[in-house]
Amino acid sequence: MHTATTHAQAHGHGHEHAHEHHEPGFWAKYIFSTDHKMIGIQYGITSLAFLFFGFLLMLAMRQQLANPGQPVPFVGKLLEKTLGADAASGGVMQGDLYNAFGAMHGTIMVFLAIVPLAFGAFGNYVTPLQIGAPDMAFPRLNMASYHLYFWGGVVMLVSFFIPGGAAKSGWTSYSPLATLADMDRAINGQTMWLIGMVLLITSSLLGAVNFIATIIQLRAKGMTWMRLPFFVWAQFVTAFLLLLAFPPLEAAGLMQLADNVLKTSFFLPTGLVTSGGPVPVSGGGSPLLWQHLFWFLAHPEVYVLILPAMGIVSEVIANNTRKPLWGYKSMVYAALGIGFLAFIVWAHHMYLTGMGTKISTFFQTTTMMISIPSVIILTALFISLWGGSIRFNTPMLFALAFLPMFGIGGLTGLPLGFNASDIYLHDSYYVIGHFHYVVAPGTIFGLFAGVYFWYPKATGRFMSEFWGKVHFFGSLVCMNLIFAPMFVQGLRGMSRRMYDGGATYFGNGVDPGVLWLNKFITHAALGLLIFQLPFIWNFFSSLFVGKKVESDNPWQATTLDWQTPTPPPHGNFATEPVVYRGPYEYSVPGAAKDFIPQGQKS
């Protein structure tokens, strides 16, 4: 807390700061840091760990789908020991555990892994650097934001070990299922989930306020809005989505918490009966209300997942094609358009709830409209490649793969946006294939590109190109082998909810001929695990053995983040940066070099 105090004083009387400056201790430097770069790294490490953990949950589920009723290899005994015989008797994953892992896989991947990595880590580390700011506008708020996120994650992890296990009603936590599961336990997994979510929501709320205030207030001299790198625009729109879409889920979460703990009936309808008889609640609530409030967040959340990745990919592509982004302004307006439309498409997740054809038609129309700005950004990035002398380094490979992968994810979403075709495809493996194409080889590839791209700035060393390429090609192949077959399974009518992979349901000669793909996908997922090992090794070993950077601007980039010392010190810039030009002045005819940094006068 010592830095925080000196910092607070420094606001009041800056002249005293210089001679009071001393090296902070371990706790102040690494744990209670108010420096946006350290907080970015904290976010990065924590969220990458959660990303891997969420992936392992999915692997355990995949093995159950491929070999229903077989013990989970390697960890089966451990699961039985730690989670109880009810959950994994004899190391075999039981239905409840499958549901819990499924719910927590989704929750962890979305709220604890990808958003914190895309927004918390990259946003924190890079945004102030790119706008020429010394830090975020509210450094202590920034610290609080990380700590809330961390404890939210701890609550989620602890919930695996409480009696009854973690939340098991899907990451969407639909009521009344979410309230009725484990209703007899005072503190159950769902209650822990809600407490964790309230912490996470508060965290991203503080983060969003901080990001927007920083981008509005702390832009360097000359950094006009249309000179902002696209990455900053993407983070700006993302922050607005988080700021305005999360509070309704917080409200919904508080109401579901009341349903669980105080036994209210916000989301429980009148006349609710389970196998145990009538549910002893007053009733009168609305399950649809939960879905509306949930998806009011959760659809904008999709754009929270994708926009920062688009921002990273744009930076990497402009840098490695040595060309300005094609249609920078239209990309900015498209991002703003996405930001606006994201708020009025949520009920396309609810076509099957019977909310009425007129409402469905409205949301179908807006859903088709929002594909336009997404396509504008993707098209602009594709055209940016045209005629460039492309450097195929690891960040660029990931950025290039992002384009078609996100394209597949986006295009396969259209049949889900039309309510006629959605009625057939809803809740099938097709849906899983669709959104994983957007998020896994889409967003996560964008994030990997960012890790490889900014690693030299944060550490002063490159990550290994060789292991990076092994990581890239292996992941690209495996991702497609995992998710493409899911489209086939879904089109043949396989539901996403069957914990034995459909073995029971599809027995007796109605096998749609796609069950063998379960094993296939599981093998591909194992392959994906193997190809992440080079990344983990590369990430840590490069700290010590990676090739050292020879300058502060190893990629010959134009944006301000590369004009700082490496790694950037507290306060970031040696001298106050002034911006004279747009963000992507690559290959300017007649210029001495093929790039002109934003801070270079002429």
Partner 1 sequence: MEIPYTVKPRPDTGLYNAKVGIWLFLASEVMLFGAFFSSYILLRVGAPDGFWPDVATAWPHGLLNIPIGTFNTAVLIISSVTVLLAWASLKEGNLPKFKKFMAATILCALGFLAIKSYEYNEKFTHYVIRLKDGTAVTGHLDIDGKSPRFWSLATVEAKKLESIKVHVDVPNQFRYPVGFKHETHEEAEAKTGGHGGGHGEREIKTADIALLQAFIPKTGTFFAIYFTMTFLHGLHVLGGAIVMAYIAFVGDGMWKTDPERYTNRIEVAGLFWHFVDLVWIFLFPVVYLL
Interface residue with partner 1, options 157, 187, 205, 498 (CB under 8 A): 205
Residue 114 contacts residue 102 (beta carbons within 8 Å): no
Give me 292's structure tokens.
Answer: 């509306």
* Shortest Cβ 369–partner 1 spacing (Å): 22
Cα four-point dihedral sign 134, 136, 141, 143 = negative
* Shortest Cβ 573–partner 1 spacing (Å): 6
432 φψ region: left (φ > 0), alpha (ψ -120 to 50), beta (else): alpha
Question: Does 149 engage in binding with partner 1 (CB under 8 A)?
Answer: no
Backbone angles phi, psi at 46, to 5 degrees: -60, -45
CA 435 to chain CA centroid, nearest Å: 12
For partner 1, give the closer residue by CB, 250 or 465.
250
Residue 269 contacts residue 176 (beta carbons within 8 Å): yes
Sequential DSSP letters for 114-153: IHIIIIIIIIHHHHHHHHT-SS-S-HHHHHHHHHHHHHHH
For partner 1, give the closer residue by CB, 219 or 349.
219
Give me 211's structure tokens.
Answer: 């990001």
Site string for partner 1, 345-384 (x = CB under 8 A): ----------------------------------------
For partner 1, give the closer residue by CB, 142 or 321.
142
* Shortest Cβ 217–partner 1 spacing (Å): 5
Site string for partner 1, 161-200 (x = CB under 8 A): ----------------------------------------
For partner 1, give the closer residue by CB, 29 or 292.
292
CA distances from 353 to 55, 343, 419 (A): 31, 19, 11
For partner 1, give the closer residue by CB, 286 or 421.
286
For partner 1, give the closer residue by CB, 167 or 198.
198
For partner 1, give the closer residue by CB, 210 or 235.
210
Q: How many residues bind partner 1 (CB under 8 A)?
A: 55
For partner 1, give the closer residue by CB, 47 or 256.
256
Segment holding 318, helix H or strand E:
helix 287-321
CA-based nearest residue to 163, from 142, 186, 180: 186
For partner 1, give the closer residue by CB, 259 or 500.
259
- Considering only residues 270 through 309, tell me which ones interact with partner 1, judged by CB under 8 A: 270, 281-286, 288-289, 292-293, 296
Angle between helices 445-459 and 36-66 (to 10 degrees): 140
Residue 320 contacts residue 265 (beta carbons within 8 Å): no
Question: Does 142 engage in binding with partner 1 (CB under 8 A)?
Answer: no
Give me 412's structure tokens.
Answer: 């396969």
Stretch that binds partner 1, among 305-313, 320-328, 449-457, 568-576 (CB under 8 A): 568-576
Q: How far apart are the first and last CA of the chain?
A: 44
Interface residue with partner 1, options 130, 210, 238, 518 (CB under 8 A): 210
Segment holding 274, helix H or strand E:
strand 273-274
- Considering only residues 3 through 42, tell me which ones interact with partner 1, judged by CB under 8 A: 10-14, 17
* Shortest Cβ 300–partner 1 spacing (Å): 11
Cα separation, 227 vs 565, whole angstroms? 22
Interface residue with partner 1, options 246, 453, 483, 506 (CB under 8 A): 246
Interface residue with partner 1, options 28, 212, 305, 405 (CB under 8 A): 212
For partner 1, give the closer residue by CB, 40 or 441.
40
Cα separation, 408 vs 577, whole angstroms? 41
Question: Does 510 engage in binding with partner 1 (CB under 8 A)?
Answer: no
Cβ-count burial of 373 within 10 angstroms (0-12 exposed, 13-18 middle, 19+ buried)?
buried
The residue length of the chain stands at 602
Stretch that binds partner 1, among 255-263, 367-375, 426-434, 464-472 (CB under 8 A): 255-263
Stretch that binds partner 1, among 60-68, 206-214, 325-333, 373-381 (CB under 8 A): 206-214
Residue 533 CB-half CA count within 13 A? 5
Cα separation, 175 vs 24, whole angstroms? 48
Site string for partner 1, 98-127 (x = CB under 8 A): ------------------------------
Question: Does 573 engage in binding with partner 1 (CB under 8 A)?
Answer: yes
* Shortest Cβ 210–partner 1 spacing (Å): 7
Residue 396 contacts residue 557 (beta carbons within 8 Å): no
Residue 308 CB-half CA count within 13 A? 33
Stretch that binds partner 1, among 171-179, 187-195, 239-247, 526-534 (CB under 8 A): 239-247
Interface residue with partner 1, options 258, 390, 488, 526 (CB under 8 A): 258
Cα separation, 506 vs 173, whole angstroms? 27
For partner 1, give the closer residue by CB, 218 or 336.
218
396 φψ region: left (φ > 0), alpha (ψ -120 to 50), beta (else): alpha
Q: Which residues lie near partner 1 (CB under 8 A)?
A: 10-14, 17, 133-135, 137-139, 141, 205, 208-210, 212-213, 216-218, 243-248, 250-252, 254-255, 258, 262-266, 270, 281-286, 288-289, 292-293, 296, 571-573, 576
